[in-house]
Each structure stands twice: as structure tokens, then as C-alpha cells.
Chains A and B, each alone.
Chain A
Amino acid sequence: MASEKLYLYPIWIRIWHWVNAILFITLLVTGVSMQYSNPENPLLISFERSVELHNLCGILISLNYLLFIIGNLFTSNGKQYKMKTKGLLTRIFNQSVYYLFGMFKKQDAPYPISAENKFNPMQRFIYSTAMYVGFPIIIASGAAMLFPEIIVPQVFGFSGLLLTAIVHVIIGFILSLFLFIHLYVCTIGSSISSNFKSMITGWH
């Protein structure tokens, strides 16, 4: 494993990342508080406050997403989200085998981190899917629910608002699973906190 330090996360990525993290967690908590609203549950935020916060954070995370897209368009960071489809499954399989077995046998990571490859193939696939599929869908469905008059009233006999809400909730649920897995995988580093420190200092 390379011992020299790599500067992987420039300042704009770190700012975007932590802003995204705070907003996403707020959206998750307020989203759950609205979906399962119950004034008698002390663990949930009040419905009124949840609506206000969810709307505000939804707008802010959309603007932050714009920063991410623009940053990726005009810097080399965008390349980190591109992947070749040829051999993709094999690469993901190899990385999975490492996480499930190899790392416990002290084997070297099959795809070590470098300045050109910040993500291993599994991360690259999941991050790309989350950021370029999940985020656009959840932002679009969220915007539609913020301005419900733009939603088609009926789609194949179902309420258009309902379908939009279901899509929003399902994608939100998948992205929240991603968050938990992401947080856990980040503890797999040279130490439990090393990856978290990297996202603060920029150095890996």
C-alpha cells in the first residue's frame, strides 16, 4: 500500500460534501418525521417544523447539487464518476470478494486508491448511480411536490401526486441506505477515522 499522502479532495469538493451531508441528514430526519408523523413520538420532529426544514433543505441541496455538477464539468473530478462497462461486473465482484473475505485475510485491496482512481470500482458504480440517477430523480420529484400544480393529476388511473410521492420516498429510502453503507465503508481505512479526516483535510 502506498505510504505517501495523496491530495484527493480539493476544497470545493470538501465544502460540497459536508454541506451535502448535513442537508441530506436533515432531509432524512425530517422526511421520516413527515412520513411517519405522530405527535406522540418524541423521536420525531414536529410536522410543521419538518415541512419547513424539508422544503428549505430540499432547495439548498438542489443548489448544492448544481455546484457538484458544475464542479465535475469543469474539473478532473468528473472523471472519477465515469466507468467502462466492459468488465464492470467482474471488477465489482472482485471488490465485493475483498470486502467479504480478502480484507479479513490481510490481502491487498484489488484496486488501490490513487489520484486517478479515488474510488474503487464498487464505490465508482454506487456513487455514480447515486449522484447521476438517484439525485436527479429525488430532486425532480421533490420539486414537483413543492409545486404540485405542475404534476399530472392522473396517470393510468392513479393520482399523479401519489406516484410522484412514492417515487420520492422510495429513492429517498434507497439513498438513506446508501448513506448508512457509505458511513460504514468510510470506517474501513488505515484507521476507523482516517477517511473522515481525509474529507476534512483533503489528504488521504
Chain B
Amino acid sequence: MNEDLIRKIEEEGKAAPVPSSLTPEAVRQMLEEKGSQIREEYKDDPDVPAMEEMPVVEEISAEEEKVTDVEEIRRRALKKARRRGFITAASLLAAGLLLFTGVRIWQGSRMGSSQASGGAALTEEAAEVFESPAETGGIEKAEKKAEEAAPEAEPLDYLTPAADYEAVYEALKTGRDTFYVTNGAAGGFADAKGDMAVEEAAAPTAEAAAGGYSQTNVREEGVGESDVALTDGSYIYTLGDDETEILITSAEGGDLERVSRIRPDLGSGSIREFYLQGDHLILLASYYKTSMAQTDQEDMFSLESVDETHVISYDISDREKPVETGTLKLDGYYRTTRFYDGYAYILTSTDRPFYAALPEKYEEETFTAQVIPKVNGAPVPAGAIYCPPAVSCMQSLTVTGMDLKAPGEASDAKVFMGWTSDFYASRDALYLEIPSWKGGRSVTDIVKVSYEKGKITPSAVGTVPGTLESSFSIDQSRDGYLRAAVTARTDAGVSSGVYIFDRDLVQVGSLTGLAPGEEIQSARFLEDILYLVTFRNTDPLFSVDLSDPEEPRLLGELKIPGFSDYLHFWGEDSLLGIGWDADEKNGEILGLKLSMFDISDPLSVSEITTLPMKNYWQCDGLYDYRMLLVDPAANLIGFEAGRETEEREDSWRWKDEYHVFSFEDGKFEKLASLDLEECGIPYGARGLYIGDTFYLAGGRRILAFDMEKDFEKIGEIR
């Protein structure tokens, strides 16, 4: 339904004539006449972003396009593998369900962390050559030199803090000179499905919700995350419709009663999400206030804006009277938070003026004000700022710790210069993923930041030779090894691989060449087995044995149509996949699909059942795992999905529904399909449960359904 409105806007837009001064011919003429004037006048225009900050969709080379016949590739790879005698037993098992993939399995060389980096070695050459960007020829020379220099450059160093602010300035300046024109410095945002998970994904909690109520779906068991709708078994907490308040509602079966609301002062900002621990409620919000200040000239005002992230703590021991206990103010915009062992670790990013505004000379006061992030008003000291010798952009990430018992105060704060695209948190370390460009291709640098009791310390740096699809793609094992499922793009094409790093992020083992021509769609690590989904036209579900970090082994492959975007362990022996059904021959997506796999024997993974949901084209939970309700102990699977329905010829309606399934006797049973429009929750609906009552919550609305009585509606509140 919204599609036709979009089209209407598009059509109407086309009807508006472009003024004659803006036609290409007019522009060309203007530039010919006033080109140098314009260059002079606009050369420092702050609205122009630096090229390397632009996210880039990976270029698909002509060779890749030719790779269409996956079977052919497999056949060739199989021939090669056979010659080397690497056929695994797995390939010969399970008639009809397993396909041998002809994977080239070879040991990764023990590589140290000596990957080439666009770092210090580039700077001299680049600095020589690159004095004024507008000069013809200078740019091409810089590019060539940068490319040549790349293999010899020193590794990134995020482990030594800056000596002083000037050192940070130098790193920025060097970065500007180095990366200003070289290719793709901060590129590499993989666009596999047309969408990228900016938030992280989480590991499941296999046990039933303590006390029989639903919990936030988190990435890593034991590491808490905030959300927009929660329950503690007696109350339901939701983020109000306009995101300026939190509503606390008591819930007893179908009886819903609004108890209180929390409405902090956020200027014109909004609450992003919140976290509950016992009687502590912590809000993560953006604070935004713009005001005018009179300048000397009449009728001229300067705009001053405050753009911060506020971490606001409340004591809600009396649910009817929440009391604010402290506000921690952080510079920058909110990324995410992780909660562990009574501490919160909040990640914020700053977005500073672009290179055009980096002054030629270092001046402490302005530089500090411009670039150094503040925590509760105080700039983070240089000794807490980490950056490589050349920083490719002005973005930085701040990790701030807060003791939940000392609200409003930071226990520690560390800043990492550069653009962190995604993160993963284990119980003792935060892994920052920083896209980079080395040796002519996209790689991802990983900075391991250890945390404990509010103290934050970077402890290792490593590089994966490709991109990570989501935060499910990396995982720390119990003995501290970091495993990564990586999509690599080289001139030879796309392929998937698994890389294993030790505690110091030194690579110790790898398994590459899995499914050549295919990208990783989803991954899930269970102890020492990795389940990996790639996709071209069909969905090979690979299982990889990681018990020996130096020798990862492919155990098996299951080939089925479509692919799973999200994997979740279901009990001990099964794996739930939520994803897309596709036509086997051409890979065309047919709709959503639920699958359950039997993983009791990783050597022989099979599909127990699948439930296609035809014409469902949207499932936001696949981009934010917290929107999913997956609770094996309670046997509930809940998610929002949207579909098209054809009511009349040529006219489509879009329906958004919240679906609840259970898994019974080897089949998915649909328990409910709630029309979100009727429920009055058009977007962002969350499914929760307390005991036998299921609640659909979104903004001010909560609806209660009796799970014992076929989801009969037994209450609601607006």
C-alpha cells in the first residue's frame, strides 16, 4: 500500500520542472566562466564529506558476473580436491541430503599480525606527492605510490595510547594526506541483502526464562542488552510512541494497568532503548537541543546545538514513583550498550567536521573542542585515546563504563579513532570491527578491548581478510580464541572462509574456499561447531568443527533452496533458521521461510521441516535480533512479518502481522497471526509473555492474549 504512495511522490516529483539555472548546460557554462572563483570560495565548505567516509557498495567485477554456474565451480573444485585426496567422510554420508561440495581445504599459514596496513609507510610518499588536491597528476601519483607502499606498511596500532592531543592531531593529518585520495580506505560495507546489520546479533539463552517470562534476545549468553519493550514477570515496560517516555504497566493475565511513566528532559532528542536490572532502570537516550544565540549583527543568529547521548538511571523500587538517580552525559551519538556483572559499557560515536576543517596547525583549544569527545563535560585525556598512525577519518568511538550502583558517573572511558562499523561483546571483551583497505581489497581490522568491572583496556589487534556479515560472524570461544566467518572478495571472486585467532589476535588456523562465489548470509557458533549459511541460488548450511583452533574441519554441508538469515539453537539438537525461500534455479526470493535443522550429528545435518511463508517480503527482526522472540524452553517463536495481498487486480495491500509459532512433533504450528493494524501497533511490535499470557507491545499499546485459549484476546491498554 505504501509502495503506491512512494510511486505517487516519485511521479509528482518528475512533473516538477528543473529551473533553467540548474540544467547541466547552465552549470557547465557557469563553471567555465567562474570555475576558479568558485573553487576559491567553496574550498572549505564544511558540508562536503571526505570521500573515504562515504560507505561504498562493493564493486562487482566483470569476472564475478560470469560466475553463474555454481555447480560447475563445485565440480571443478571437487576435481581439484580429489586430486589432492581431501575428501572428507562427511561428504559420503546421508543419502540424498548431503552434498559434497568439493571444498578446497587447506591449512591457513600461521600469519602474524603483520598484515599490510595503509599506515605509516604511506605517509611520507603521500605527503611528498600530495600537496594540493586540485593539481592534475598529483592524485594519480599518490594513488600509485600508496598502492605500491601498502604491502610494506606497518601494522595498525590501537594498543598504545596517544602521548598527547597533538599526537592525535598528527594522526588525523597524516590520515588525511594518506587517505584523501587512495581508494576505498573506509569502504567495505558489504551489501549482501541490500541491508546491513548495524546492530549486533546475539547468542541465545537456552534455558527457559527464569520465572516463566520472556527475556531480551541477546547475542551472547550472559551479556545483557537494552531493548524497547521488556518484562520482569509482573510489569511490562515499553517505549512510548514518540520515544520521549517509558511507560510502566502492571500485567496480571489480561489485566493491564498503567502504573507510571518516566519522561526525562531530552531537549528534542529521544529515548533509544532501556535496560532493567532488578529495581534499576537505565535509559539510553539522545539529547538534542538547538538554540539561537544573538550575534553582533542584528537579525543574524548563530545556531548552537548540543548533541549528546545521555545514560539516565532510575530507581524504580516503587514502581509508581520512579526516581532519577543520575545522568551520565556522553558526546556523540548512541551506538549500543552491553551490560555485564553490574556494569554498563556504552558505545557512542562522534561525527566531527570533515577534513576540510582540520586546521593546518595544531592549536590545543580548538582541536580539543572539535575532536576530543567529552564524558560528563570533560574531554577524555590523551592517555585514553587510541589511534593508528594514520587515521582515515574523523570519526571516533568512545567506550564508557558505568557502575550500575554509581549512576551518572563513568568508571572508565576509552576512545578509538576511526570508523567502527560493528561490534561483538563476549563476557570479557568487546571486539571492534573497523573496515579497512589493505593490499587492494577490503579487510576488517579487529580491536580487542578487554573489559572488567568497569575498566576498559585494548588488548589486541588483528585483521580478517574480508568482511564480516554481522556481529554473529565473530565469536569468542571459552578459551579465548576468536573465530570469524568471513566473506572475502578478491579478483578471483567471492568466497567464504573461517579464520581463528588466539587471545592476542594472531591467526592460528583457517578454512577457506568454502562455497566459492557465495557470500555468508548468516552464522552461528555453538561451542566448537560453526554453522554457516552462504547463498547463491541455494543455501548450503555448512557445519565446521573448530575444536582444534589450528585445524578447522568442514564437517558437512546441507544444500537446500533459499537461505537462513538468522540461526538460533533450539534445544540441544536442533537449529532454527528464519530466512528466505528462493527458487532453486535462479535464486529469486519467493518469501519468508522457517526451517528446523537436526544438528544432533554435526557430520550429518539434515532438515527436519520447513515452512514457507509465501509473499512475505519483510521481517525486520532479521536486521535487529532483539525484535525476535525465540524461546525453545517455552516453545515459542514470535516475529513481525509483512506481506503483500492482492485485493483487486493491480492493487496491492500491505499487511503487517505478528506471527507466533511453536514447534511440535517435527512441525511448525502456527499459534497466532495478529494483524498489526487492527492491534493498533503499526510498527515496532514486540512479543512478550508472562506465564500463559502473551503480550503484544508497541508504544502505548499492549494487548494480552491467553495462550491456553488459542490466543483469545483478554485485555488491552492504550
Do the two chains bind? no
A residues near B (Cβ < 8 Å) are none
